[in-house]
Each structure stands twice: as C-alpha cells, then as structure tokens.
Amino acid sequence: MKNNIRVERAIKNITQADLAEAVSVSRQTINTIESNKYVPSTVLALKIARVFGKPLEEVFILEEGD
Amino acid sequence: MKTHFLFPYWCRYLGWALILLHVPISMFGLAHGMVNIMDNGPTSTGLFTGVHLFFICTSLVMVSGLFLVAFAKEKVEDEQIWHLRLDSLRWAIYINYLILIISLVFIEDVGHMLELNLWVPLLFFIIRFRWVIFRLNSSFSKEEGHEK
C-alpha cells in the first residue's frame, strides 16, 4: 500500500510531529508509514485522512499485489 | 490508543532495580552455601526450607523484574509499538519452545529445564523488543538527519 501523506503534509504545511500529535502516535510511526515500512490500522488511516480532510482512498492507495 | 494489561512506564525502572537486586542476593546465597540449585535443582528440597526460600527470593525477584521490564508501557505506546511488541512476543515463544524441545530430547534434568523456561521467553522478548525499537529510532534519526 502506498500513501500520499508526505504530499498532503506539504499542501497543509504541517510537520511529521504535528501530524503525529493530531492522531496521537509517535513521530517514528508517522515516519515509517510515510516511507511505506509500516501499514497503519484502519482506525489510524481514517484519523490521518480526517486530518487532511480527504477521503481515505486519496491518501492511501492499494498497490498491485496487495 | 487504549492499551490494556501493561504496567505504567515507571515500572520499567522498578523492574531493572529488582533484576539488579537479585545479583547481591545470589552472591550472598553463594557465599553462605545456600545455592544447591546447580547441584540438585529447585524441586529436590522440601517446601519452605532455607534453600527453597532462597530459591523463591532470587528467582521470584528476578522473574518479577524481567516481567515488569517486559510489560511496562513505552513513553508513547502507539499501535506500531503494540505491533512490534506482539511480534517480539511471537519470536520469544518460538525460541522458548525450540530450546524446550531440544532440551527435552537431550537433557534429563527437568528441574533445570523449568528454571530455563522461567526466564528465557521474558529475556528473549526484552532483547528482541529493545533491538527493534533501537532500529526504529536509529532509522528515524538517520532520515531526520537527511531531511535537515
């Protein structure tokens, strides 16, 4: 699964730390999600999408083979 | 994230203190000849004799310490930490049973096997868990360094 968190953060002009605080996780977790090392739970993915005010599918995208 | 069945963060320090405390108690026992665990195993003596009480003191203190260290919350206990925790626990169980099966085949001394079984899963869990957290943090600080 890919994601556009880095792009969305840039649009909204917030740091990893801001996003981490908004969804109550550590900065490391946001970092690993951004670099596709960790797949978040549905709850966390929905929370992140809500921060950006976008539907889930615009932030997280399924890849071939998922 | 709601976390159940984990001790507060400060319990980690209490756990390390208990593990450290176990060392002088063991030394004391060794000096006074109370340790025959190495010779006969803990189950070979009667209940609440000196040796048995000493065994309870040392093993209980050490295992409680390991237990507290293993299951104390991290500073930020989020779902990724939870995931790493479960993964480490799975590996600890694998290793424990591997050692148990090997020792069942090759070792006749059941007392020692029980003793081993007491701390191997916890110790391996702690080592594996700390190692993955260390790797997570070091890759994070490396990437942060790149961004700067």
What ipTM was assigned to the predicted interfaces of this complex? 0.84
Query: What are B38-56's pLDDT values in tens digits?
Result: 454 445 556 777 777 787 7
For residue B2, the chain A residue with the least C-alpha distance is A24
In a domain, B2, yes or no: no
CA distance, residue B126 to nearest chain A CA (Å): 20
Nearest to B129 by CA among B97, B92, B79, B94: B92
Specify the higher pLDDT residue, B101 or B41.
B101
Confidence band, pLDDT 50/70/90 cuts, at residue A60: very high
In a domain, B103, yes or no: yes
Provide the domain count of chain B.
1
Q: Is residue B33 pLDDT above 90, yes or no? A: no
> Can you tell me the mean pLDDT for A10-35?
93
In a domain, B143, yes or no: yes
Specify the higher pLDDT residue, B90 or B113.
B90
Specify the higher pLDDT residue, B27 or A53.
A53
pLDDT of residue B34: 63
* A29 vs B contacts (CB less than 8 Å): 78-81
Task: Write out the residue range of the structural domain in which residue B17 sits.
Answer: 11-147
* A35 vs B contacts (CB less than 8 Å): 143
pLDDT of residue A48: 95
In a domain, B72, yes or no: yes
* B1 vs A contacts (CB less than 8 Å): 24-25
Give the helix ranges, DSSP H, for chain A.
5-12, 16-22, 27-34, 42-52, 56-59
In a domain, B61, yes or no: yes
pTM: 0.82
Q: Is residue B98 pLDDT above 60, yes or no? A: yes
What six digits make up the tokens of A45? 């993915």
Query: What are B107-125's pLDDT values in tens digits?
Result: 877 777 777 888 899 999 9
Q: Compute chain A's Rg from CA coordinates.
A: 11
What six digits make up the tokens of B70? 């293993």
CA distance, residue B124 to nearest chain A CA (Å): 23
What six digits make up the tokens of B37? 């665990």
Cβ within 8 Å, pair A28-B80: yes
CA distance, residue B84 to nearest chain A CA (Å): 11
Confidence band, pLDDT 50/70/90 cuts, at residue B147: low
Count contacts between A and B (CB, < 8 Å).
32
In a domain, B5, yes or no: no
Confidence band, pLDDT 50/70/90 cuts, at residue B148: low
- Class of domain A2-61 as given by CATH: mainly alpha
